[in-house]
């Protein structure tokens, strides 16, 4: 048996034809849906990028215990577990966060790995002379403009190179057995930089400045600018679709559907002006960001062109992959093997938890979404870690002065951990300005989450199950205090 997990970052389900979008050019995602099971109720868990990837290794939420960070020494890593059971594992990615301080322990969990440089603010090409970038846009914008000079044609674009490497791996190993390929594209993550031929798919009048990378804040742009940015996203999405087609062609031509599991997934979506917000990391986490697409082909069951309503999450993917290869899931994994959902749409959970460290803690049953805000001050809040790194830097000396070694949790294999005061404001200024507080939405009557409801019975049920899931996840005591759940 073989397995391929093809992952796109920031893949918006509402922009895909299989999920009802009628204006984007995504024929190969529709072709994928006709070959696989399409999940209509998949939710993210720990947010954003690297916390989501930690889930794909460990099969458990991590946002209640720490912010963005690497795999920890005590973590169970799905690809490493496969490797230890004789399954060859390989990773290909252009996701630049893997090569930063806060992600640097992931790629060495595989037998082999390949990287492609140049995405976003990847510290790649050196240019001492500053490009003309407004000061408030920061280092990533500056570096990205430098990088773009070196990816000025389609063949040089990181996505094209990632697919070239992936197809090379498949060609080399199509006749081999017992392997897992983690094949990951940073696109269509911002910046929405792509070639003109894809932009021509979305003709529109626009005479404004370069705008393919919205800041993480409220919308201040004109309707024309907002529409233009959405078209820029759509153009990059159509490039993703075109390269997805190359993969599907290879699967067809080499009869690989017969014995190869295929998972196409993402970490989260992206706000493109909805709720008057851009991007992600702004609480609360609306469905545009957390209600995500998922497609799975399992050759054992041959279910294709079907849809499933059961509630699933990214923490289920590593457990499902382990099950495919006959490897028992680690006892600390909280996810579920999705075989019964794939075959019978038999639920594996009633509720799903999702959130970002220090922000709202959210729960859904697929119909209602309850978003629990923190008490004023958003304290106490700590990071629990044995690897004190942020996204692009180490924890500061000021932070480390607050560190104390404390008894760990069951999932830390009963090893001590550092308890460090979370000094960063996890929610951000813009999010606070737009923060509606604790809210409850009924997705059946309000799928766009425009009007919170007040229903005491439903709210109490959601609170009870929120607490239950937090306990199952060994949430530290201060999380209950921070959320006013004492």
pLDDT tens digits for range 373-405: 999 999 999 999 999 999 999 999 999 999 999
Query: 220 Cβ partners below 8 Å, 6+ apart?
Result: none
Residues 55-67 have pLDDT tens digits of 999 999 999 999 9
Paired sense of beta strands 291-292 and 417-421, if any: unpaired
Could you give the CA distance from residue 20 to residue 43 in angstroms, rounded to a whole number? Answer: 18
Length of the chain: 486
Picking from 322, 346, 370, the residue at the C-terminal end of a domain is 346
Average pLDDT over residues 447-454: 97
Residue 211 has pLDDT above 90, yes or no: yes
In the prediction, which pLDDT does 321 show? 98
pLDDT tier for residue 436 given thresholds of 50, 70 and 90: confident
pLDDT tier for residue 412 given thresholds of 50, 70 and 90: very high
The count of domains in the chain is 2
Residue 432 has pLDDT above 50, yes or no: no
**38 and 83 together in one domain:** yes
In the prediction, which pLDDT does 427 show? 40
**287 and 302 together in one domain:** yes
User: Among 20-29, 251-260, 354-363, 424-433, which stretch is predicted with the lowest mean pLDDT?
Assistant: 424-433
User: Among 93-107, 121-135, 203-217, 467-481, which stretch is predicted with the lowest mean pLDDT?
Assistant: 121-135
Residue 291 has pLDDT above 70, yes or no: yes
CATH number of the domain to which 179 belongs: 3.40.720.10
**Bridge-partner residues for 383, per DSSP?**
420
pLDDT tier for residue 434 given thresholds of 50, 70 and 90: low
**360 and 316 together in one domain:** no
- Which sign, positive or negative, has the C-alpha torsion 368, 447, 215, 159? positive
Picking from 321, 346, 371, the residue at the C-terminal end of a domain is 346
**325 and 418 together in one domain:** no
Residue 459 has pLDDT above 50, yes or no: yes
Residues 356-372 have pLDDT tens digits of 999 999 999 999 999 99
Residue 429 has pLDDT above 80, yes or no: no
**332 and 357 together in one domain:** no
**331 and 398 together in one domain:** no
Could you give the CA distance from residue 66 to residue 153 in angstroms, rounded to a whole number? Answer: 40
User: Among 124-133, 197-206, 236-245, 273-282, which stretch is predicted with the lowest mean pLDDT?
Assistant: 124-133
**357 and 342 together in one domain:** no
Picking from 311, 346, 381, the residue at the C-terminal end of a domain is 346
Residue 371: domain span: 353-482
**408 and 316 together in one domain:** no
Residues 129-161 have pLDDT tens digits of 867 776 656 678 889 999 999 999 999 999 999
**Bridge-partner residues for 179, per DSSP?**
2, 88
Could you give the CA distance from residue 134 to residue 149 in angstroms, rounded to a whole number? Answer: 18
**425 and 450 together in one domain:** yes
**321 and 457 together in one domain:** no
Per the prediction, the chain carries an average pLDDT of 95
Place of tokens 């004190």: 388
**333 and 368 together in one domain:** no
**272 and 196 together in one domain:** yes
In the prediction, which pLDDT does 359 show? 94
């Amino acid at each position: 048996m073989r397995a391929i997990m093809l992952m796109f970052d920031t893949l918006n389900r509402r922009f895909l034809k299989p999920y009802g979008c009628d204006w984007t050019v995504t024929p190969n995602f529709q072709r994928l849906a006709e070959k696989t099971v399409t999940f209509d109720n998949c939710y993210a868990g720990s947010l954003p990028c690297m916390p989501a990837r930690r889930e794909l290794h460990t099969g458990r939420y991590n946002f209640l215990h720490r912010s963005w960070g690497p795999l920890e020494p005590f973590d169970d890593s799905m690809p490493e577990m496969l490797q230890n059971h004789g399954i060859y594992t390989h990773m290909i990615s252009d996701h630049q966060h893997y090569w930063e301080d806060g992600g640097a322990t992931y790629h060495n969990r595989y037998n082999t790995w390949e990287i492609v440089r140049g995405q976003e603010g990847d510290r790649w090409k050196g240019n001492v002379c500053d490009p003309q970038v407004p000061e408030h846009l920061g280092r990533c914008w500056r570096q990205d403009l430098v990088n773009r000079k070196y990816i000025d044609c389609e063949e040089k674009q990181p996505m094209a190179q990632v697919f070239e490497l992936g197809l090379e791996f498949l060609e080399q190993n199509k006749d081999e057995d017992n392997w897992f390929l983690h094949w990951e594209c940073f696109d269509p993550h911002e910046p929405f930089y792509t070639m003109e031929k894809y932009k021509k798919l979305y003709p529109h009048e626009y005479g404004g400045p370069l705008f393919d990378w919205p800041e993480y804040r409220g919308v201040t742009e004109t309707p024309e600018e907002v529409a233009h940015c959405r078209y820029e996203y759509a153009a990059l999405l159509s490039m993703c679709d075109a390269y997805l087609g190359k993969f599907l062609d290879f699967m067809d031509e080499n009869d690989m559907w017969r014995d190869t599991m295929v998972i196409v997934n993402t970490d989260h979506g992206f706000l493109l002006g909805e709720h008057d917000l851009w991007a992600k990391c702004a609480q609360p986490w609306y469905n545009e960001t957390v209600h995500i697409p998922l497609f799975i082909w399992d050759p054992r069951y041959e279910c294709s062109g079907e849809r499933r309503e059961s509630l699933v999450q990214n923490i289920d993917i590593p457990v499902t992959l382990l099950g495919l290869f006959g490897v028992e899931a680690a006892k600390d994994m909280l996810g579920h093997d999705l075989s019964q959902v794939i075959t019978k749409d038999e639920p594996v959970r009633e509720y799903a938890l999702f959130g970002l460290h220090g922000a709202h803690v959210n729960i859904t049953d697929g119909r209602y979404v309850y978003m629990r805000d923190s008490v004023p001050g958003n304290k106490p809040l700590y990071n629990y870690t044995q690897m004190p790194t942020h996204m692009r830097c180490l924890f500061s000396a000021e932070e480390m002065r607050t560190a104390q070694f404390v008894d760990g949790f069951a999932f830390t294999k009963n090893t001590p951990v550092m308890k460090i005061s979370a000094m960063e404001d996890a929610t951000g200024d813009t999010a606070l300005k737009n923060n509606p507080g604790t809210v409850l939405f009924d997705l059946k009557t309000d799928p766009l989450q425009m009007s919170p409801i007040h229903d005491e019975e439903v709210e109490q049920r959601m609170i009870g199950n929120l607490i239950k899931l937090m306990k199952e996840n060994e949430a530290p005591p201060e999380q209950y205090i921070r959320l006013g759940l004492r």
